[in-house]
C-alpha cells in the first residue's frame, strides 16, 4: 500500500504501484520547493552558517582551522594533478579495463568473420587465491556485461566487493565481456550480438553445456535481453541491473533524460557528431549527458566531499575518476541505431527493432527467467523504464503465464544508478541474494514476482541461513506507467524528418571536411577531457609545485578533529551550497518538462 505524501509543485500524479516502497514516498525524492511558504527567508537565515548563535572560537582554534584548510587545499590540488596524470597515463596505455581481478583473454571478436571490438575474459585469480580454490564446478557460470555508455569496461569488477567478487564468493565461475576503445570499422549492433552469442556458446561449452547466467549492467541489460531473445535455450537467468527497456517511461520533472531527444531534434545530431569524428562517436558526449543530470554533483558535491575528507577519500576518488574519465568510442552505425531505435523510437517493447534484414526482436520469445533490479534513487534508469516494458509486451498476467515466462523484480529505495553496480552494501547483499537463490527463481511457476529480502541481522555479510527470501506474486496490470505516448511519437516523427534531411543534404559535406586532424582536435578539446587533464604539470608546469608541497604536508599533517566548531560551520556551508544546486536542478528539470510538453504535447 503506497503511503500518501505531499506533492511537489512540479510533480505530476503517478499511479499507485506495488513496486513503490514506503521509503520512496516518505521522502527519498521529496521536494525542497515548499519550505516555509509564510516566511520564505526565515529558514534560510536560521540555517545559514553563523557564529552569532554559538560561542566564538578561540584564536587558537581559528589558527588551527586555517592551517588545516591550507593543508587540505594543497592536498586537494595535488589530487587533481594526480587525476590528470592518471588520465593521460591511462590513455597512453590504451585505456585497459579497470578490473580489480586477474584475468585471461579467451576470445577476441576483432578477429571474427564479423568483427566487433569485444573480447571474452575469464577471471583467473581472486587476490592471492587461484580460480580453482574459489569456484564450484557444479554451479553455472556467470557472464558479466558492462555497458558501453561512454566509459570503458570494468565497472562490474571495479573493486573486490562487486558483482564479480560476489559471484566468485558464492562459487560461480565468472567471465567478463570487455570492449576496446575503438570500434571495428562499420561495426553494427548486429555484429555485436553475433559476437556475444559466440561468447555464450563458448562459455557453455567449457562447462558441459550449462546455460550461463547473464549479468547486464545499464545499457548492457538491453544487450543481454536481445541476446536472450536470440539465444533461446542457450542462456540461463538474465539479471538486468538498472537497465532501460521502456525508454519513454518516467516521471515528469524527475527523469529528464527521456525528453532530451526532443530538444535537439532527434538522432541527426548524434549522426553529425559521429561523421565529424570519421564515423566514430566519442563517449565523452554520453558521459557529459550523465553529468548534466545532476550538475551539482559534477561541479560541487564530489569536490566538496574530497576537500572535506581529503585524508581518507583521495584513493577512492582517484580510482573512480580513472574509470569515469576513460572515454571510449562507438561506431557511427551502432550509435545511430541505438539512439534512433531505442531511445527515441522506443521500438524494443513494441517488437520493431530489426537486428538483420530477416530478424526482428520479439521479447515474447524469451524463455529464460529475467531478474530486474531497479532503484527509486536512480534518475537515469528509474523503475518506470526498467519495468514499464512488461505490460507493453504482455497485456496481462495471463498472457505472461501463457508465454511460460518468469519475471522477478526487486527494488532499492534510495541507491543511485552507479550504486546498483558498485555500492559495496548492494553488491554484498542484493546481488548475493540473487545469485544464492537462482535455483528458486528457475523453479518458479510462470508469472510476475516481487523478490522480498528479510535480513533481521542488518549485516550484509550474514550467513545464508540468517536471511530469508520470498517471491510474492504480482499482476502485470499493476505495472502500467502512464506517460504521454502521442507526445513522444511526435518527437520520433520529427527525428525521422530531420535525419532524412541530414542524410540527404548535410552528411556529404560533413564527410568531405572530416579528417584525422579535425577528429583529434575535437576529441581533446572536449570539455569533459579538458577539465581533467589541464591540471597536469604537463600542461601547467606550476602544478608540479603541489607535488612537493603535498609530500611535505603528508609527512607533518595537522588535521583538526571532526568536532571542531569551525568544521561544523564548514559542513553547514557546503550543505547549503549543495541544496542550492539541487533546487536549481529541480527548477531546470521542471522547466524542461513544461517546455517539452508545450512543444510536442496536445
pTM over 0.85? The answer is yes
Question: Using CA atoms, how far apart are residues 40 and 564, in angstroms rounded to an integer?
Answer: 31
Q: How many domains would you assign to the chain?
A: 2
Q: For residue 90, is it left (φ>0), alpha (ψ between -120 and 50) or beta? A: alpha
Q: Are 161 and 120 in a shared domain?
A: yes
Q: Are 69 and 164 in a shared domain?
A: no
For residue 438, pLDDT over 70 is answered with yes
Identify the pLDDT of residue 42: 38
C-beta atoms surrounding 160 within 10 Å: 16
Q: Are 277 and 511 in contact (CB under 8 A)?
A: no
**Exposure b/e, 349-369, CB count within 10 A at least 16 = b:** beeebebeeeeebebeebebb
Q: What is the pLDDT of residues 463-497, one digit of tens each?
A: 878 889 999 999 999 888 888 899 999 999 999 99
Task: Give the domain CATH number at 447.
Answer: 3.40.50.1820
State which of 460, 483, 506 marks the end of a domain.
483
Q: Are 305 and 179 in a shared domain?
A: no
Identify the pLDDT of residue 233: 67
Task: Read off the C-alpha cell for 227.
Answer: 541476446
The residues pairing with 104 across neighbouring beta strands, listed in sequence order, are 122
Alpha helices in 31-104 (DSSP H): 42-47, 59-92
The residues pairing with 453 across neighbouring beta strands, listed in sequence order, are 469
What is the arithmetic mean of pLDDT over 371-384?
A: 90
CA 407 to chain CA centroid, Å, is: 22
Q: Are 378 and 242 in a shared domain?
A: yes
For residue 207, pLDDT over 50 is answered with yes
* DSSP-derived pairing of the beta strands 354-356 and 359-360: antiparallel
The number of helix segments (H) and strand segments (E) in the chain equals: 26, 15
Identify the pLDDT of residue 130: 61
Q: Are 470 and 440 in contact (CB under 8 A)?
A: no
State which of 483, 513, 543 marks the end of a domain.
483
Lowest average pLDDT, out of 71-80, 159-168, 381-390, goes to 159-168
Q: Are 85 and 110 in a shared domain?
A: no
For residue 588, pLDDT over 70 is answered with yes
Question: Using CA atoms, how far apart are residues 149 and 72, in angstroms rounded to an integer?
Answer: 34
Q: Are 110 and 86 in a shared domain?
A: no
Q: 3-class DSSP state for residue 53? A: coil
Identify the pLDDT of residue 455: 87
Q: Are 301 and 188 in a shared domain?
A: no
Identify the pLDDT of residue 452: 94
Q: Are 583 and 558 in a shared domain?
A: yes
Identify the pLDDT of residue 34: 38
Q: Are 112 and 69 in a shared domain?
A: no
Q: Which residue has the higher pLDDT, 28 or 92?
A: 92
Q: Are 407 and 534 in a shared domain?
A: no
For residue 384, pLDDT over 80 is answered with yes
Amino acid at each position: 500500500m503506497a503511503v500518501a505524501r505531499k506533492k511537489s509543485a512540479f510533480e505530476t500524479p503517478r499511479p499507485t504501484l506495488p513496486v513503490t516502497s514506503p521509503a520512496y514516498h516518505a521522502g527519498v525524492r521529496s521536494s525542497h520547493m515548499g519550505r516555509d511558504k509564510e516566511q520564505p527567508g526565515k529558514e534560510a537565515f536560521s540555517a545559514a552558517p553563523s557564529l552569532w548563535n554559538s560561542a566564538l572560537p578561540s584564536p587558537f582554534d581559528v589558527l588551527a582551522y586555517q592551517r588545516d584548510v591550507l593543508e587540505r587545499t594543497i592536498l586537494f590540488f595535488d589530487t587533481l594533478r594526480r587525476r590528470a596524470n592518471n588520465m593521460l597515463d591511462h590513455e597512453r596505455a590504451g585505456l585497459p579495463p579497470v578490473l580489480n581481478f586477474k584475468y585471461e583473454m579467451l576470445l577476441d571478436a576483432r578477429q571474427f568473420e564479423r568483427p566487433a571490438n569485444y573480447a571474452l575474459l575469464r577471471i583467473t585469480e581472486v587476490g592471492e587465491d587461484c580460480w580453482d580454490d574459489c569456484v564450484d564446478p557444479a554451479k553455472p557460470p556467470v557472464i558479466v556485461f558492462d555497458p558501453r555508455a561512454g566509459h570503458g569496461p570494468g565497472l562490474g569488477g571495479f573493486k573486490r566487493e562487486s558483482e564479480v567478487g560476489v559471484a566468485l564468493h558464492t562459487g560461480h565461475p565468472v567471465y567478463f565481456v570487455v570492449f576496446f576503445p575503438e570500434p571495428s570499422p562499420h561495426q553494427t549492433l548486429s555484429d555485436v550480438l553475433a559476437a556475444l552469442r559466440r561468447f555464450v556458446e563458448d562459455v557453455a561449452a567449457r562447462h558441459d553445456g550449462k546455460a550461463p547466467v547473464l549479468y547486464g549492467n545499464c545499457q548492457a541489460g538491453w544487450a543481454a535481453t536481445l541476446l536472450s531473445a536470440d539465444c533461446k535455450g542457450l542462456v540461463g537467468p538474465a539479471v538486468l541491473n538498472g537497465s532501460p527497456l521502456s525508454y519513454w517511461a518516467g516521471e515528469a520533472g524527475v527523469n529528464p533524460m527521456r525528453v532530451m531527444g526532443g530538444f535537439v531534434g532527434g538522432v541527426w545530431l548524434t549522426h553529425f557528431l559521429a561523421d565529424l569524428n570519421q564515423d566514430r562517436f566519442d563517449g565523452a558526449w554520453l558521459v557529459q549527458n550523465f553529468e548534466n543530470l545532476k550538475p551539482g554533483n559534477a561541479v560541487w558535491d564530489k569536490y566538496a566531499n574530497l576537500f572535506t575528507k581529503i585524508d581518507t577519500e583521495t584513493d577512492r576518488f582517484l580510482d573512480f575518476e580513472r574509470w569515469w574519465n576513460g572515454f571510449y568510442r562507438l561506431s557511427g552505425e551502432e550509435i545511430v541505431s541505438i539512439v534512433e531505435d531505442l531511445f527515441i523510437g522506443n521500438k524494443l517493447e513494441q517488437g520493431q527493432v530489426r537486428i538483420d534484414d530477416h530478424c526482428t526482436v520479439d521479447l515474447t520469445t524469451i524463455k529464460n527467467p529475467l531478474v530486474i533490479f531497479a532503484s527509486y534513487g536512480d534518475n537515469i534508469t528509474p523503475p518506470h523504464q526498467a519495468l514499464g516494458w512488461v505490460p507493453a509486451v504482455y497485456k496481462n498476467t495471463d498472457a505472461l503465464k501463457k508465454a511460460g515466462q518468469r519475471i522477478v523484480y526487486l527494488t532499492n529505495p534510495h541507491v543511485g544508478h552507479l550504486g546498483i553496480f558498485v555500492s559495496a552494501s548492494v553488491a554484498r547483499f542484493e546481488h548475493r541474494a540473487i545469485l544464492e537463490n537462482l535455483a528458486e527463481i528457475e523453479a518458479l511457476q510462470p508469472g510476475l514476482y516481487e523478490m522480498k529480502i528479510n535480513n533481521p541481522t542488518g549485516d550484509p555479510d550474514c550467513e545464508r541461513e540468517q536471511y530469508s527470501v520470498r517471491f510474492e506474486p504480482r499482476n502485470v496490470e499493476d505495472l502500467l506507467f502512464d506517460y504521454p505516448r502521442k507526445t513522444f511519437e511526435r518527437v520520433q516523427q520529427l527525428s525521422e524528418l530531420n535525419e532524412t534531411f541530414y542524410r540527404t543534404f548535410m552528411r556529404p559535406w560533413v564527410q568531405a571536411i572530416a579528417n584525422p586532424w579535425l577528429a583529434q582536435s575535437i576529441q581533446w578539446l572536449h570539455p569533459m577531457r579538458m577539465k581533467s587533464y589541464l591540471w597536469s604539470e604537463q600542461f601547467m608546469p606550476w602544478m608540479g609545485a603541489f607535488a612537493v608541497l603535498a609530500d611535505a604536508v603528508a609527512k607533518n599533517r595537522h588535521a583538526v578533529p571532526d568536532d571542531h566548531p569551525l568544521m561544523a560551520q564548514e559542513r553547514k556551508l557546503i550543505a547549503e551550497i549543495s541544496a542550492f544546486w539541487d533546487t536549481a536542478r529541480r527548477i531546470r528539470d521542471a522547466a524542461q518538462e513544461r517546455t517539452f510538453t508545450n512543444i510536442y504535447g496536445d
